[in-house]
A = this chain, B = another copy of it.
Amino acid sequence: MPQSGKSVTLKDLAAHAGVSRSTVSLVLQESPLVADSTRTRVMAAVEALGYVYNRGAATLRSARTATLGVVVHDIANPFFGAMVAGIDDTLQNADHVSFLASSGDDPARQARLVTRLREQRIDALLLCPAENTSSSLLDTLDRCGLPCIEVMRHVGETPRGHYVGADIRAGLARAVSHLVEQGHHRIALLTGAGHSSADRERMAGYQQAMETAGLVPDIRTGRHDLTRRAGLERTLEIMAEPVPPTALICHNDLMALGALLALARLNLTPGLDCAVIGIDDSDEAALSEPALSSIATHPHAIGRAAAELALQCLDHPGLEPQHLVLETSLHLRASADHFLHRSREPL
């Protein structure tokens, strides 16, 4: 229990338990080779001396660090909060840990972060790439053999390595056809400027769904970021047009919630005067007033899947690139449904 000065090492444990360093090492690795009596003696020493395993030293000799890097482009976005929770749950079960960093959608900062993570000798990288990430970043990772899993976004037209995402395209198709059934013709998509694959996928999925329905696509991109404030401001602009859309599909729930605020400010009732559908189905969606319809992307499940895939990569180094596209589902609430709306008393 004492030990205030220097740190306790394997050698100290060995002396305390009356065995060699090697044996102690075997015990710590949970090797089946050691006798039970020895194991308990060593574990007692660990307790008695307050030993803390030195991963850095171990890493020097053995190849793995049991540490993954996670880089997201916006930690403040609740989607990533939930995703990170999914990753951590999975890693915790597998006795791994993660380094989390946020790039703020800046490729230069992202590059620095990745370098730092490599210095820590992470075993694999889960990357939600910043907009305009150069493919040379992935080249570098390939070249030095660091497994990388792109999540939600990918660099280039199609993911070249492992990828985990959500089937936004199918979600949009369902959303558009629901809106059409409700009688909407002027359905607009409010998304980012197309610098990320997630933007492009939303645009393509929406466009295809609109064409299938025989409607004219109406894509509103902008230099805005993808926040509540951007949704608010952009919607105020849009609704001021001579012939505004009657339905808005937004890049994510944050923007959609901003759109609801804009409608409220304009004294329009979301769901009656203008339908709004978000993407992600965050916790807030169900709680807003009126409740927000949303395409659920299940961030927790995506985090789990990405972490599991990363762990697989470690066990099977040659694994050919996996593309996991998880299902989405449309959660209809008052913001985009006349009937649901009527079933509640009006504001």
Q: Which residues of A contact B (CB under 8 A)?
A: 2-4, 7, 50, 52-57, 59-60, 65, 67, 75-76, 78, 81-82, 84-85, 88, 92, 97-102, 104, 109, 112, 115-116, 118-121, 140, 143-145, 227-229, 232, 258, 261, 264-265, 267, 283-284, 287-289, 345, 347
- Would B88 and A55 count as touching, CB distance under 8 A? no
Q: Pick the most buried of A118, A119, A229, A345: most chain B CB atoms within 10 A of its CB.
A: A119
> Cα distance A99–B143 when bound, in Å?
26
- Chain copies in complex: 2
Closest-CB distance, A101 to chain B (whole angstroms): 7
Identify the closest chain B residue to A100 (Cβ): B100
- Would B347 and A121 count as touching, CB distance under 8 A? no
Q: Which of B60, B84, B115, B261 contacts A75 (CB 8 A)?
A: B84
Give 16 A-B pairs besides A54-B60, A76-B78, A227-B283 with Cβ atoms closer than 8 angstroms. A3-B144, A50-B140, A52-B119, A52-B144, A55-B120, A56-B65, A76-B82, A97-B116, A97-B120, A98-B101, A99-B100, A228-B287, A229-B283, A264-B289, A267-B345, A267-B347
- Would A7 and B289 count as touching, CB distance under 8 A? no
> Cα distance A104–B89 when bound, in Å?
11
On chain B, the residues within 8 Å of A67 by CB distance are 120
> Cα distance A327–B340 when bound, in Å?
46
Chosen A-B contacts, 6 in total, with CB atoms closer than 8 Å, are: A2-B143, A50-B144, A54-B121, A81-B81, A97-B120, A100-B100
On chain B, the residues within 8 Å of A100 by CB distance are 99-101
Q: A76-B82, A82-B76 are in contact. Are A54 and B119 (CB under 8 A)?
A: yes
